[in-house]
Amino acid sequence: MLTVSGEFFWLQVVNVQLGELACRGLEGHFGPDLPNGARKALVHYAYKLRVGRRPIAPPHFLGEPPAPQAVFDLTLDAATEAVLAEEADEQHVTMSRLATHAVFVYLAELEFLGVKAPAPTEGDRPS
């Protein structure tokens, strides 16, 4: 027998556009899987907002960001997307700009906590 619940699990798509510095930081911790690192950053940022530990606000002095180095869509649950959308609205920034900021906050917190990026292998080092 198939039963139907009255609850639905909605997923939202967030467009993420990251510059070179954000990409390099994520690559240092997560390798080439930028969407995985960005998703962790966004979920972490939304969690901090939900529990009342507000991260520093996105800076407004930077002006328009340069052309992105990486552009991709992330699928997030509706609750996470709603928290992030509300924060973007309150901060008067786009969701993509908030996503970049969330990446920087996450990377800064990893650094503060002493989480080291894996050492590059010989093949990963720039020439």
Could you give the percent of the chain with pLDDT greater than 90? 61
Rounded CA separation 102/85 (Å): 13
> Can you give the pLDDT at residue 64?
77
**What pLDDT, on the 0 to 100 scale, is given for residue 1?**
45
pLDDT above 70 coverage of the chain, percent: 84
Q: What is the pLDDT of residues 64-92, one digit of tens each?
A: 778 899 999 999 998 999 999 999 999 99
88-102 pLDDT, tens digit each: 999 999 999 999 999
What are the φ and ψ backbone dihedral angles of 8, each rounded to 5 degrees?
Answer: -125, 150
Task: Domains for the chain: give ranges and CATH numbers.
Answer: 12-124 (1.10.1220)
Residues sharing a CB contact under 8 Å with residue 75, sequence separation 6 or more, in sequence order: 11, 12, 13, 14
pLDDT at 2: 44
Kindly report, residue by residue over 6-61, the tens digit of the pLDDT. Answer: 555 556 788 999 999 999 999 999 999 999 999 999 999 999 999 999 988 888 88
